[in-house]
Amino acid sequence: MNKWMEIAYDEAISGMSANEGGPFGAVIIKNGEIISSAHNEVLLCKDPTAHAEINAIRIASKKLNSFDLSGCTLYTTCMPCPMCLGAIMWARIGHVYFGATKEDAARGGFDDARFYEMLKGDAKSLDLQQIDHKENAKLFDIWNQQTHTMY
């Protein structure tokens, strides 16, 4: 196994064994060094967002003191779910190596198929309604009137 993936795999085993969450692990590498490694902690933290990739990103951001993880590579034991793919893109991580497939995860009861359907515009699984458009759209006018150097 790839040496970084092996660390992600060990994370998955250790998290699952401790009943901290599902069998998922991730590591973030920059310039040939580990920046962070993490596993799924949804059960431990009772936090639905505590996926291995999100945890690894949060630790790496703290360590590098930046929300911008450009130049980092992520190794993850399973194809990231849409939430984690979004986090990876916001973090500007350019390269991702994953092990298991969505279908493997579904076999373990972790099925994100309906997420992809929803993101394609099929709102059956989520009641998503727009209200108060005009007032909220103004937030971006206020934002644009400010000076921002960091975003």
**Start-to-end C-alpha separation, the chain:** 38
16 belongs to the binding site for a second copy (CB under 8 A) = yes
Question: Hey, which residues between 22 and 41 contact a second copy (CB under 8 A)?
Answer: 22-24
Query: Which lies closer to a second copy via its Cβ, residue 32 or residue 151?
Result: 151
Query: Which lies closer to a second copy via its Cβ, residue 33 or residue 135?
Result: 135
Structural contact between residues 55 and 108, judged by C-beta atoms closer than 8 angstroms: no
Shortest distance (Å) from residue 56 CB to a second copy: 11
**Residue 107: which region, alpha, beta or left (left: phi > 0; alpha: psi -120 to 50)?**
alpha
Size of the site for a second copy (CB under 8 A): 84
SS3 state at 150: coil
In which element (H, E) is residue 76 found?
A: strand 72-78
Question: Hey, which residues between 124 and 143 contact a second copy (CB under 8 A)?
Answer: 125-133, 135-137, 139-140, 142-143
Of 6, 53, 103, 117, the catalytic one is: 53
Whether 135 is catalytic is: no
- Pairing between β-strand 72-78 and β-strand 25-30 as defined by DSSP bridges: antiparallel
Q: Which residues are catalytic?
A: 53
